[in-house]
């Protein structure tokens, strides 16, 4: 069994690392403090090809597969310290571009995909509601068809990219009380009559990724903007979650790799007194744990990516990857902070931000508890 990347995949990963180091690390501490999204960073990423990795060439993308996505994102994570920007791009690609590509009509693809790949347009995925977080299919937003359009009513919360988005992927009930089978999915444009975008929501981490609530007050959406069939929203959402859970943490492999290297150097050089801290078994063991979690995370992400490349169903593998890698990522950030001692707690060392950013990973795309529910329901 050969698990190595091809030469081209390795090259793409290396050029992503080089690009990220050169272009994406300006004033991250200040932008994190202010909660500033970098539109120029977004455009630089699009010019590099990030938003278009999975987009066919005929719509202006690179036409590459999920394994390339994982490899390139690993390189980006190794080089880029702006986790919020990369989180925003992942949400845009995995929960917005992918469903349009997989379920949109040719007309919808031509209208939206080129702009989404080129960086001109930003997309946001709106599923979560104040009263239906983990129980996603209990949502209350409704969509009622009238002639050639739908009227949407309800609200959404925790919508990543909402303050800056041009296009929203919105899930609503077209058949009330029918849960999974009563949902439909719509592409809603910024400025649609009856669409309200709330104030930016302040977050603990991922602060450079903007987030807001959405309100729909008889929001008028053309019937042609229904994504997939009416009633297919549940299937569409679970397929988009499979892509997201499999790939959203690929860049964290790069982050974990970078943190491990930094910690190794620190453990060898930091001598409070006469002894390097790496000579203490308690510190050395933390490094061993970090390496173990990095390597197991790599296997899980690349297995999920390989399955998506082969267009195979991967509900179990993507939930396993999401659960395991998010917890490993958080644990590795905690280890790094502990290894750096008091310095790790200080903003200047940029580890406290890594930990704040990492903590969200066990919440978004379904919490760790929900991943365990999915995994056990498949097993039982």
Binding region for ligand FAD (CB under 6 A): 91, 125-128, 133-134, 158-160, 206, 360, 363-364, 366-367, 369-370, 373
Burial of 76 (0-12, 13-18, 19+ CB in 10 A): buried
Q: Output the CA torsion sign for 221, 224, 227, 232.
A: positive
Which lies closer to ligand FAD via its Cβ, residue 59 or residue 237?
Answer: 237
Name 321's Cβ contacts closer than 8 Å, sequence gap at least 6.
245, 246, 249, 297, 300, 301, 303, 304
Q: Least CB distance from residue 137 to ligand FAD, whole Å? A: 12
CA distance to 91, 201, 305, 333, 334, per residue, from 290 (Å): 27, 32, 22, 9, 10
Is the Cβ–Cβ distance between 181 and 259 less than 8 Å?
A: no
Backbone angles phi, psi at 280, to 5 degrees: -85, 130
Q: Least CB distance from residue 326 to ligand FAD, whole Å? A: 11
Active site residue 295: no
Burial of 189 (0-12, 13-18, 19+ CB in 10 A): middle
* Residue from 74, 244, 352, 354 carrying the catalytic annotation: 244
Which lies closer to ligand FAD via its Cβ, residue 159 or residue 307?
Answer: 159
CA–CA gap between residue 195 and residue 191 (Å, rounded): 7
Q: Least CB distance from residue 199 to ligand FAD, whole Å? A: 16
How many helices (H) and strands (E) in the chain?
A: 14, 8
Q: Least CB distance from residue 96 to ligand FAD, whole Å? A: 9
Q: Least CB distance from residue 339 to ligand FAD, whole Å? A: 26
Which lies closer to ligand FAD via its Cβ, residue 60 or residue 244?
Answer: 244
Ramachandran area for residue 366 (φ above 0: left; ψ -120 to 50: alpha; else beta): left
Which lies closer to ligand FAD via its Cβ, residue 125 or residue 328?
Answer: 125
H/E stretch holding 243 reads helix 233-247
Which lies closer to ligand FAD via its Cβ, residue 6 or residue 134?
Answer: 134
Q: Which residues are catalytic?
A: 244
């Amino acid at each position: 069994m050969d698990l190595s990347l091809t030469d081209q995949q390795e090259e793409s990963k290396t050029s992503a690392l080089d690009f990220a180091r050169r272009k994406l690390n300006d004033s991250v501490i200040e932008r994190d403090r202010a909660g500033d999204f970098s539109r120029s960073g977004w455009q630089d990423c699009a010019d590099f090809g990030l938003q278009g990795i999975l987009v066919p060439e005929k719509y202006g993308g690179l036409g590459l597969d999920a394994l390339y996505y994982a490899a390139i994102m690993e390189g980006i994570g190794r080089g880029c310290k702006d986790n919020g920007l990369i989180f925003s791009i992942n949400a845009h690609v995995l929960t917005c571009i992918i469903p349009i590509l997989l379920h949109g009509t040719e007309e919808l693809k031509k209208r939206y995909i080129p702009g989404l790949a080129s960086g001109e347009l930003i997309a946001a995925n709106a599923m979560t509601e104040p009263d239906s977080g983990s129980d996603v299919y209990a949502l209350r937003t409704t969509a009622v068809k009238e002639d050639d359009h739908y009227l949407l009513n309800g609200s959404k919360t925790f919508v990543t990219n909402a303050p800056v988005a041009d296009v929203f992927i919105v899930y609503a009930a077209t058949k009330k009380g029918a849960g999974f089978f009563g949902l439909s999915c719509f592409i809603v444009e910024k400025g649609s009559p009856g669409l309200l975008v709330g104030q930016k929501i302040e977050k603990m981490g991922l602060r450079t990724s903007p987030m807001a609530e959405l309100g729909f007050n008889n929001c008028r959406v053309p019937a042609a903007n229904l994504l997939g069939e009416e009633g297919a929203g549940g299937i569409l959402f679970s397929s988009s979650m499979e892509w997201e859970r499999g790939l959203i943490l690929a860049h964290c492999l790069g982050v974990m790799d970078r943190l491990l290297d930094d910690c190794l150097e620190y453990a060898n050089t930091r001598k409070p007194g006469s002894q390097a801290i790496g000579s203490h078994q308690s510190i050395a063991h933390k490094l061993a744990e970090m390496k173990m979690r990095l390597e197991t995370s790599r296997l899980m992400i690349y297995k999920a990516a390989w399955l998506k490349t082969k267009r195979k169903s991967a509900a179990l593998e993507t939930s396993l990857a999401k659960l395991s890698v998010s917890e490993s990522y958080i644990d590795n950030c905690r280890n790094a902070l502990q290894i750096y001692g008091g310095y790790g707690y200080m903003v200047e060392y940029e580890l406290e931000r890594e930990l704040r950013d990492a903590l969200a990973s066990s919440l978004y795309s379904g919490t760790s508890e929900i991943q365990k529910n999915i995994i056990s329901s498949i097993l039982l």
